[in-house]
Amino acid sequence: MLLKNIRDQFPALDQKVYGKPLVYLDNAATAQRPDSVVELQKRLSQSANANIHRAVHKLASDATEAYENAREYVRGYLNAQYASEIVFTSGATASINLVAQSFGEAFVCAGDEIIVSVAEHHSNIVPWQLLCQRKGAVLKVLDIEKNGVLSPESLEKLISERTKIVAICHISNVLGLVNPVRELVAVCHKHGVPVLVDGAQGIVHSKVDVQELGCDFYAFSGHKVYASTGTGVLYGKKDLLDAMPPFMGGGEMIKSVSFKSTTFADTPTKFEAGTQNFNAVPTLIPALEFAKSQETDPAIMEFVYSKLTEDERITLYGTGFENKIPLFSFAVKGAHHEDLALIMDKMGIALRSGQMCAEPLMDRLGVTGLLRASFAPYNTMDEAKYFIECLNKAIGMLI
């Protein structure tokens, strides 16, 4: 498809900020939504706004059908074995918290160990810290290698007989490098340890096949992959989900309620307490359809990568062209990331600056924060050139 036709599907891109055309390069935080997503949610909100799985009337049945179709679609997209392995949540954070709460309740005891990597988003650190505090368990940290990725060998050294779960990112939201998830999972499974993969960035930039990766849990958010915000997915292997207790009580997650004893619904319904985001969840279908069919122009990747690596004032974190997504976090000598972001904002460019919800990684890299530009398939080469031009101008203003 022509780039112009792609951009036409995203009306949000066609706006001015401070009188300058918007150049949206904060896609790793939230991606813009195509018309197909916006229209679907609008249509469902107008025609099928009824609580799912409960009433027998037509609207409820339409809403339920749209919601369950999305479950089946996501199952197919991830190549999960069963639709019941797909739990809908409000986002990757909620997915990970669900596992930390429920898996933790069932399987983690005092003195047990949980492994996370130093390159995790806070959402894949804090839920495990809270679990460790509750249970008296120990959080162990896997470092990144010199090349910025996680190594199965280093992971294996960290695993002990007390390790209960390993939680790692598919692609770091700072470094933008694809981790060797299949090999990391294999090492864990050799020792009988399940693995949760934070796929918030992974789902956007790679074909995810959970059976091929072998992971036990895969978590992602809808809003980073062009779907409506407030949607999210937790894939979990059926036997594990079946063995985990519900973590939130409420409507629809039960079989029968009495004051003597309440029995719970089966997987995945037992994890979907209360009214779900039923008109938004179906937008995962057009959103993932878009994600599957488009990729960022490789020429943009090459251009930005070379410009940022050849400039001596700039340090790019997460180098290595082969396994990198079009996401660039960098520091400029003598210029603060906040100043650069502030100036470039007024030039129309939306960037991310700061710690990017990865404070431990910033400490590890020895920086207080970075500037990040993350590209999507709707970004153009002209935008990439304008970004580099404005970056140079902003640096010139500051040093």
Partner 1 sequence: MTNMTLEEKKQQVIEDFSMYEEWLDKYEYLIELGKALEPFPEAEKTEDRLIQGCQSRVWLSSEIQDGKLYFKADSDAIITKGIISLLIDVYSGHTPAEIAADDFGFVAEIGLKDNLSPTRANGLVSMIDRIKEIARGE
Q: Under the rule (CB under 8 A), what is the footprint of partner 1?
A: 18, 335-339, 342-343, 345-347, 353-354, 368-369, 397-398
- Residues near 285 by Cβ (< 8 Å), separated by ≥ 6? 40, 69, 70, 73
Smaller CB separation from partner 1, 26 or 112? 26
How many CB atoms sit inside 10 A of residue 117's CB? 26
| Helices and strands (H and E) in the chain: how many | 15, 17
One DSSP character per residue, 47-82 reads H--S-TTT--SHHHHHHHHHHHHHHHHHHHHHT-S-
Distance, in Å, from the CA atom of 35 to the CA atom of 14, rounded to the nearest integer, reads 13
Q: Which lies closer to partner 1 via its Cβ, residue 62 or residue 339? A: 339
Instruction: Please state the closest distance from residue 381 (CB atom) to partner 1, in A.
Output: 25
- Among candidate residues 176, 170, 234, the one with its CA nearest the CA of residue 27: 176
Q: Tell me the C-alpha distance between 319 and 350, whole Å.
A: 22
Q: Which of 225, 209, 214 is nearest to 166 (CA)?
A: 214
Cβ atoms of 189 and 181 closer than 8 Å: no
Amino acid (one-letter) located at 68: E
Which C-beta is closer to partner 1: that of 257 or that of 342?
342
Q: What distance in Å separates the CA atoms of residue 250 and residue 229, rounded to the nearest whole number?
A: 23
Closer residue to partner 1 in complex, CB, 16/146:
16
Q: Residue 247: left (phi > 0), alpha (psi -120 to 50), or beta?
A: alpha
- Least Cβ distance, residue 334 to partner 1 (angstroms): 10
CA distances (Å), origin 323, targets 89, 170, 178, 310: 29, 11, 5, 19
**Toward partner 1, which CB reaches closer, 243 or 399?**
399
Instruction: Please say which residue, 109 or 397, places its beta carbon nearer to partner 1.
Output: 397
Side-chain-side CA neighbours of 110 within 13 Å: the count stands at 1
Beta bridge partners of 332: 314, 335
DSSP 51: -
CA–CA distance, 122 with 110 (Å, rounded to integer):
23
**Closest Cα to residue 375, out of 383, 367, 363?**
383
Choice among 132, 215, 357, 390 that is catalytic: 357
Name beta bridge partners: 219: 198, 234
Residue pair 362/368 in contact by the 8 Å Cβ criterion? yes
Report residue 100 as tokens: 């930390």
Determine whether 357 is an active site residue.
yes
**Distance of alpha carbon 237 from alpha carbon 78, whole angstroms:** 12
In the bound state with partner 1, the residue whose beta carbon lies nearer, of 22 and 83, is 22
d(CA 208, CA 210): 6
Active site residues per annotation:
357
